[in-house]
Amino acid sequence: MKTLGFVAALLLMLAAVAFFVVARNTPDAVDFEDVDLDARVKQFLETHAWGGRGAANVPAVDGLTLHNIVLEKGYTRALEIGTSTGHSTVWIASALSKTGGKLITIEIDEGRHRQAVENIKAAGLSDLVDARLGNAHGIVPALEGPFDFVFSDADKGWYKSYLDALLPKLEVGGCYTTHNVGGLFSGWFSDSGDYMDYLNGLPNLETTVDSRGRGLSISYKVSE
């Protein structure tokens, strides 16, 4: 009985830790007053929850990281694979509104695409975003580029194929980011270890992983 009680207590403790980790990675974990955002963007992000796994959106901690990379590096030609309902799109496009850039974003699900278009409009960023509905398997290889920033967050089993198609079109100095790898929730993506081994083995990329949110790999292209 004592053993069962100990196991129950341990499970409760682990559940509490997991709850804390998930909670800190919701939009509430970011103090929007400390972020330089347009009023409409800030209102949208403050009033729309990231939606959890079912909505397939990034938590604010990851969105802010994407925003800051684009802003700090001055990127202007961005691509997002996997719009979902547009939270990451709003973060990225918000930074592009300050660098003078534009974003192409791709979503295969019609319902999510429609909601994303509405969300992007609500945030006042429609003029900066080319939101495309379709299968990225065909759209991505046909894109001309060049790009200086890529955020990959679509079907995880296709991550390597997206990277292979886009790396030649990524400018030297550009950044390629991938979601749901290397973090607490990378288990959603069963092949994340193989993908990260491949990514880390590329000699023209310097890669780190930000594990504060859902696991975000950040790769800078240092040579052709």
Sign of CA dihedral 52, 57, 62, 68: negative
Mean residue pLDDT across the chain: 86
Query: With 80 as the cut, is the pLDDT of residue 182 above it?
Result: no
User: Which range (13-27, 47-61, 166-180) has the least confidence?
Assistant: 13-27
Per-residue model confidence (pLDDT) at position 22 = 47
> Between the CA of residue 137 and those of 126, 141, 143, 155, what are the distances in Å?
24, 7, 11, 10
Q: Which of 144, 173, 177 is nearest to 163 (CA)?
A: 177
Query: Tokens 């959603």 map to which residue?
Result: 188
> Between the CA of residue 65 and those of 61, 71, 182, what are the distances in Å?
6, 10, 16
Secondary structure in 3-state letters for the chain: CHHHHHHHHHHHHHHHHHHHHHHHCCHHHCCHHHCCCCHHHHHHHHHCCCCHHHHCCCCHHHHHHHHHHHHHHCCCEEEEECCCCCHHHHHHHHHHHHHCCEEEEEECCHHHHHHHHHHHHHCCCHHHEEEEECCHHHHHHHCCCCEEEEEECCCHHHHHHHHHHHHHHEEEEEEEEEECCCCCCHHHCCCHHHHHHHHHCCCCEEEEEECCCCCEEEEEECCC
Q: What is the mean pLDDT of residues 155-174?
A: 97
Query: With 60 as the cut, is the pLDDT of residue 113 above it?
Result: yes
CB 80, CB 89: distance < 8 Å: yes
Better-predicted residue by pLDDT, 87 or 3: 87
CB 116, CB 106: distance < 8 Å: no
Per-residue model confidence (pLDDT) at position 214 = 87
Per-residue model confidence (pLDDT) at position 82 = 97
Please state, in angstroms and rounded to a whole number, the distance separating the CA atoms of residues 213 and 211: 5
Q: What is the pLDDT of residues 8-30, one digit of tens each?
A: 555 656 544 444 444 444 444 67
Query: With 70 as the cut, is the pLDDT of residue 40 above it?
Result: yes
> Between the CA of residue 156 and those of 6, 138, 174, 195, what are the distances in Å?
38, 16, 22, 9
Count up the domains in the chain and report the number. 1
- CATH number for the domain harbouring residue 139: 3.40.50.150
The model's confidence at residue 32, banded by pLDDT at 50, 70 and 90, is: confident
User: Which range (2-11, 85-94, 145-154) has the least confidence?
Assistant: 2-11
Q: What is the pLDDT of residues 121-158, one digit of tens each?
A: 999 999 999 999 999 999 999 999 999 999 999 999 99
Query: With 70 as the cut, is the pLDDT of residue 211 above it?
Result: yes
Which domain does 161 fall in, by range? 2-221
